[in-house]
Amino acid sequence: MAYILTTIFLWTVFFLVIPGRDWRNYYPVVLFSALLGTVSDLLGVRLDQWAYYGPVVGGLSLWSDLGIAPAEGALFIRFFPASHPPLVKVGYGLAWSAVNALFEWFFVWVGWIGYDHWNPLRAFLFYILFFGLIFLQERWYNGTNIIVKKSNL
């Protein structure tokens, strides 16, 4: 149930903060985030790093991969401080990584995820990679025009 509520919350925020005319521009980052989340989970579950408790398909939480990750990727890009100095951008990525690691740890604490060979520090480092790849994908593809237009990189 927590995954469903988190998914509903994140997509509600998405639809409230991103104007309807711009939703199509976020489609590439949404797809990439879903793919990245699914591949990450495949590797993590198959390599015995973590396990999901509850409704899973092949050991994967599709709510996490196809619900939470895409909305987070889109919101990460939507609020990205592109016109700010590089230190602010790095801090923004680190903040998103820390918040995600904290929520993941909460999910572990309440018993919705189990860490086998994983820990909050590894989660934090993973989320740096996760959001870094989302940034690079958006920078390369420039679907929303946020990264390049605001920052003139």
What is the tens place of the pLDDT at every residue in 82-119?
889 999 999 999 999 999 999 999 999 999 899 999 99
Number of domains in the chain: 1
- The domain in which residue 119 lies consists of 2-17+25-151
Q: Count Cα atoms within 13 angstroms, Cβ side, for 35.
A: 9
Checking if the pLDDT of 149 tops 60, the result is no
Q: Choose between 142 and 45: higher pLDDT.
A: 45
DSSP secondary structure string for all residues of 52-113? E-SS-BTTB-HHIIIIIHHHHHHHHHHT--TTS-HHHHHHHHHHHHHHHHHHHHHHHHTTSE
Q: Mapping DSSP to helix (H, G, I), strand (E, B) and coil, where does residue 51 land?
A: strand
SS3 39: helix
The letter for the amino acid at 59 is: G
As given in the structure block, the two tokens for residue 52 are 């999901």
